[in-house]
Amino acid sequence: MKHHKDMVTKEEIQAFFDAQFKGSNLMIEQVENQYALLRRVVTQQDLRPGGTVSGPFMMTLADAALYAAIFGTLGIEEMAVTTNLNMSFLQKPKAEAALTAECTLLKVGKTSVVGDVVIRSEGESAPVAHAVGTFALPKN
């Protein structure tokens, strides 16, 4: 099992996200080895007709949670790239609540990482979406 060369703090990951994804409202709540918890506030522009949170908003959150969990495990690997993201939308999220994404890495290999992400409306236990994603790691 691969572990980070240098421990990366959630503040360092937040600084990277703030610089790379300006205006994304992605907040790193918690990061550990093979785990990340992110939060994203829902704004009016993130809603689609019917008052539900858009799919692209949730996919961005899932993808970012995977990226953050990789950083928490391997250090800042900015060239890690998504190769697959399979998303299931389970129920309508609350339009007025922020969404959280909880990512657990299932496999950390030499060339790729696979993770599981559960998205919830803040304060709710039932998931609103579920994703499984794979990232390719840069060749060292």
pTM: 0.94
**Taking the mean position of all CA atoms in its chain, how far away is CA 49?**
25
pLDDT at 26 over 70: yes
DSSP-derived letter for residue 35 is E
Mark out the alpha helices in the chain (DSSP H runs). Answer: 10-20, 55-74
Each residue's pLDDT tens digit, 31-68: 999 999 999 999 999 999 888 899 999 999 999 999 99
- Which residue segments constitute the domains of the chain, with CATH numbers given? 10-136 (3.10.129.10)
CB of 68 closer than 8 Å to CB of 104: no
